[in-house]
Amino acid sequence: MNTELFGIIVVFLGTIVLALPFGKYIAKVYGGEKTLLDPILNPIEKVCYKISGINPAKEMNWKEHMVAMLTINLVWFLLGMLLLMTQQWLPLNPDGNPNMSPDLAFNTTISFVVNCNLQHYSGETGVSYLAQLWLMFLQFVSAGTGLAAAAVLFKAFKAKTTAQLGNFYNFLLKSCTRILLPLSIIVALVLAFNGTPMTFQGKDQVTSLQGDTMQVSRGPAAGFIAIKHLGTNGGGFFGANSAHPFENPNYGTNMLELSAQLIVPLAMIFAFGYFIRRKKLSLMIFGVMTVGFLLLAIPNINMEMNGNPAIAAMGIDNTSGAMEGKEVRFGAAVSGFWSIVTTVISTGSVNAMHDSTMPLSGMNELLAMMVNAFYGGCGVGLLNFFIFIILAVFISGLMVGRTPEFMGKKIEAKEMKIAMIIALLHPFLILAGTALATAFPAQGAATLNNPGFHGFSEILYEYTSSAANNGSGFEGLGDNNLWCNITTGFVLILGRFLPIIGPVAIAGLLAEKQYIPESNGTLKTDTGTFGLMVFAVIVIIAALAFFPALTLGPIAEYFSM
């Protein structure tokens, strides 16, 4: 049992230690400084810019950034729809998988474009290898989009007063080539050498030792799984995601995949501090996020290790913990830990089925996505957290009777309005979506895999996961139907782009304002006290907005057991 806990501690601390130098590296990449991979990547990027007719030195203001972002995302969306609806006739389809229906293609494309990877299909039967490669491409560029948006935020707070915030295409391409690609190659190779397939051959047929005929799905999985974690995408190559013995062959690869999904979000926090030369601010952000993360993760590890009381009551040996939906090679402890890592960060990959976790573990997974800012996804975690900072600055300002200021910029009505809309959008999307699905039993209740309170949790989880762009699920839910594909599709779009545009707009507006030097009257935002304030704002917003829904789902289930 101790070896299980030890594995968790080493992964977590080890990744933090690695994230520090990697954060410094990211800051250099966005600052255009010299880095290790320049000799290889400079010429490649130069060719890309030349052919595309992009001048990477041309600076954009925040509005141009957002227009560029939305345009290129639209291109990806249209291409994706086309490909998924015609995959049957295209090459690289050894298993002969059929075309997607329009609504499923809509949901799948959106969900990969917005870095969510909610999968209403199963990898083995739902997509061809060509489509898998296309989805893998989206895993790179959607993560790159989030990182590029965060880089705009970096830029906005570096200079005293400016409207020039770097070039979007430059940030996007560099995020992919310099941050995601090198690490992906390393992770993919480690996986391949541990038994993850990387082949273009189709299903294999074997006879088991007992004499049963079985088929084994394969494919170019190693490359896919690497970027699915590094880009905090989370979409599985196979239906069972990282619980599948091919996607995650042993405890070592499990540690690697945990580390891979944590490293970029962690490094981005430190990169922010290095970039704007305020390491203490980074430390405050890291502290608040880590406290929130541990408050969710530790109870989950504990609850999953203790196991299901209803099964313990049957009188069997329950020492392994809650093993329903879990793999023996990982064990209950690290599966509980993973369930929170993947939900605080917007990865959404799973190494155990969340639908079968304990009721309050399920609640913590939901809470992690409802907050969506304890570490958070590639780039967007920091943007979400920035909204909470702005709210905390405003509230603290009112409490002490000072003009709310952040980094020498006055926060005024316009910024506050944007921050409030973005903060309220998330609960609105989740609760309205859940309410609608629950109100129509044919769309809600009929699709459930479990009765009662847990069934309600399945619907709540689906919309929470969509709004948070997470992608994990209480997968019992029969989610591949017209209603669910379309509604979650729209929740995904709104839950992705507004929370990017909002914070970038605030940052852009603040950057254009006059810089006010710090004085005795300035509210310090890089202290523990202010961190506490941000934490309080997060708890109040999440608790007040979501508590009633959580009471109807996981909390009621807990008390009914």
Partner 1 sequence: MKNHILPAVKLTVLAILLFAVIYPLVVWSMALFAPNNGNGEIIVHKGRKYYSNIGQSFTEDKYFWSRPSAVAYNAAGSGGSNKGPSNAEYLKEVQARIDTFQVHNPAISKAEIPVDLVTASGSGLDPHISVAAAKVQVKRISAVRNIDVAGLERLIADHTEKPLAGLFGPEKINVLKLNIALDKMSEK
Residues 374, 344 contacting (CB under 8 angstroms): yes
# chain residues binding partner 1, by CB under 8 A? 126
* Interface with partner 1, residue 327, by CB under 8 A: yes
- x/- contact string, 101-140, with partner 1 (CB under 8 A)? ---------------------x-xx-------xx-xx--x
* Interface with partner 1, residue 98, by CB under 8 A: no
Residues 122-126: contacts with CB under 8 Å, at least 24 apart: 122/238, 122/239, 123/217, 123/219, 123/236, 123/237, 123/238, 123/239, 124/95, 124/217, 124/238, 124/239, 125/95, 125/97, 125/239, 126/97, 126/100
- Please state, in angstroms and rounded to a whole number, the distance separating the CA atoms of residues 339 and 254: 13
- Please state, in angstroms and rounded to a whole number, the distance separating the CA atoms of residues 24 and 186: 20
* Interface with partner 1, residue 322, by CB under 8 A: yes
Which residues 420-449 are close enough to bind partner 1 by CB under 8 A? 449
Instruction: For the CB of residue 529, give the shortest distance to partner 1 in the complex, in Å.
Output: 38
* Interface with partner 1, residue 353, by CB under 8 A: yes
Instruction: For the CB of residue 438, give the shortest distance to partner 1 in the complex, in Å.
Output: 17
Which residues 217-246 are close enough to bind partner 1 by CB under 8 A? 217-218, 220, 222-223, 226-227, 238-240, 243-246
* Interface with partner 1, residue 141, by CB under 8 A: yes
Which residues 4-33 are close enough to bind partner 1 by CB under 8 A? 4, 6-7, 10
Residues 364, 340 contacting (CB under 8 angstroms): yes
Which of 452, 524, 540, 543 lies at the binding interface for partner 1 (CB under 8 A)? 452
**CB closer to partner 1, 331 vs 381:** 331
Interface stretch with partner 1, choices 47-55, 265-273, 373-381, 391-399 (CB under 8 A): 47-55
- x/- contact string, 76-95, with partner 1 (CB under 8 A)? x--x----------------
Residues 492-495: contacts with CB under 8 Å, at least 24 apart: 492/107, 492/110, 492/111, 492/114, 492/116, 492/118, 492/466, 492/467, 493/110, 493/114, 494/425, 494/429, 494/467, 495/114, 495/425, 495/426, 495/429, 495/466, 495/467, 495/468, 495/469
Instruction: For the CB of residue 103, give the shortest distance to partner 1 in the complex, in Å.
Output: 22
* Angle, in degrees to the nearest 10, between helices 528-550 and 380-400: 110
* Interface with partner 1, residue 365, by CB under 8 A: no
* Interface with partner 1, residue 53, by CB under 8 A: yes
Which residues 290-309 are close enough to bind partner 1 by CB under 8 A? 307-308
User: Which two structure tokens, joined as six digits, stand for 219?
Assistant: 């494919």
Which of 215, 403, 529, 551 lies at the binding interface for partner 1 (CB under 8 A)? 215
Instruction: For the CB of residue 121, give the shortest distance to partner 1 in the complex, in Å.
Output: 11
Burial of 21 (C-beta count, 10 Å sphere; 0-12/13-18/19+): exposed
* Interface with partner 1, residue 210, by CB under 8 A: yes
